[in-house]
Amino acid sequence: MKVVLFCGGFGMRLREYSEAIPKPMVNIGYRPILWHVMKYYAHFGHKDFILCLGWQADTVKRYFLNYDECISNDFVLSAGGDSVELLNRDIQDWNITFVDTGTSANIGERLQAVEEHLQDEETFLANYTDGLTDFYLPDLIDFHHHKQAVASFLTVKPMHSFHTVRADTDGNVRRLEDVGQADIWINAGFFVLNRQIFAEMRAGEELVGPPFQRLIEKESLCALNYPGFFACMDTFKEKQCLDDMYSRGETPWEVWKHPMQDHHLHRLVEFGDDEQDDSRIVEELQCLSEEAGFAAGRIDNKTHQQTKVAALGDQSDS
């Protein structure tokens, strides 16, 4: 299944880190976040990528054209440096299509620009390329097919440190609730889409705008709630948080290094036929993720406060 990655935006909220590097190319450890997202999909067998490029497209192209597998793999150096034997490989079985989709295009326009590369794909995957998770990806794909949806996406709990307020017309506060405890879920930017999505799109429209609204009216848009680990790199502070986690060896998104994690997080029951069954499944997944030790409630207080999750509704900046 092909994976469309949106990586052509300006990344304005990361400009305090660097004005010369596009957001997908900002490093976490040895590799840019783009690589971490691609490695995540490759782990689940999806290794055919379409990169929707824009601002600083040449930076992304040069990175892969000059890719050095020794940076993130073990190797044996001999013959005074003339011989290098890699003990494991990264991207030798990846297929990457580089498409310049325009400097100022929004997500919907970038997706439409690569439609010709998806002619043979009835279903494909897409991602904003600025969020990381340990979610078991096959569950989202199975959910999408079970619902017979045109578009499905992963939703996560916000971890922002603010409260929602409900007041009456006279200004009297009737309810005050921590947003993390409220029944609010945000778009994590992990999509499963059918080719029919293109029939719902019009020129210039943002993907999660009018096209998704049309799908809502047709009951063809679905979301799967995931209470486990998710972190976004939308700001410099979030980048620092991910760097800190990486330096401590707390990298739950590196599912390729945690094979047992897949086993724990994989849903053990089939999707239900109604909302009650689906709710039960989400509760079971939450219990499984907590057992694996990566649910939001199991992250220590320091990490919980530092790991901020950005609502990804408007991704013109991606």
Say yes or no to pLDDT of 50 above 60: yes
> Strands, E, within the chain: which ranges?
2-7, 27-28, 31-32, 48-53, 75-78, 83-86, 95-100, 123-127, 131-133, 151-156, 163-167, 173-178, 186-194, 221-226, 230-232
307 versus 19: which is more confidently predicted? 19
Enclosing H/E stretch for 260: helix 259-265
Sequence-distant (6+) residues with CB within 8 A of 47 are 41, 93, 94, 95
Q: Phi and psi (nearest 5°) for 224? A: -110, 120
Cα 160 to chain centroid distance, Å, stands at 18
In the block, residue with structure tokens 């940076």 = 71
With a cut of 60, say whether residue 308 has pLDDT above it: no
Predicted pLDDT at 290: 44
Tell me the C-alpha distance between 265 and 281, whole Å.
12
Confidence category of residue 111, pLDDT binned at 50, 70, 90: very high
CB 52 within 8 A of CB 117: no
Percent of the chain with pLDDT over 90: 55
Which domains are assigned to the chain? 2-69+88-306 (3.90.550.10)
Burial 141-150 (b: 16+ CB within 10 A, else e): bbbbeebebb
Residue 90: pLDDT band with limits 50, 70, 90: confident
Provide the H-helix boundaries in 24-167: 33-43, 57-65, 107-113, 137-147
pLDDT tens digits, one per residue of 252-275 = 999 998 765 554 455 433 455 555
Least confident residue range of 45-59, 122-136, 179-193: 179-193
Of 297, 299, 276, whose CA–CA distance to 287 is shortest?
297
CA distance 318 to 101: 13
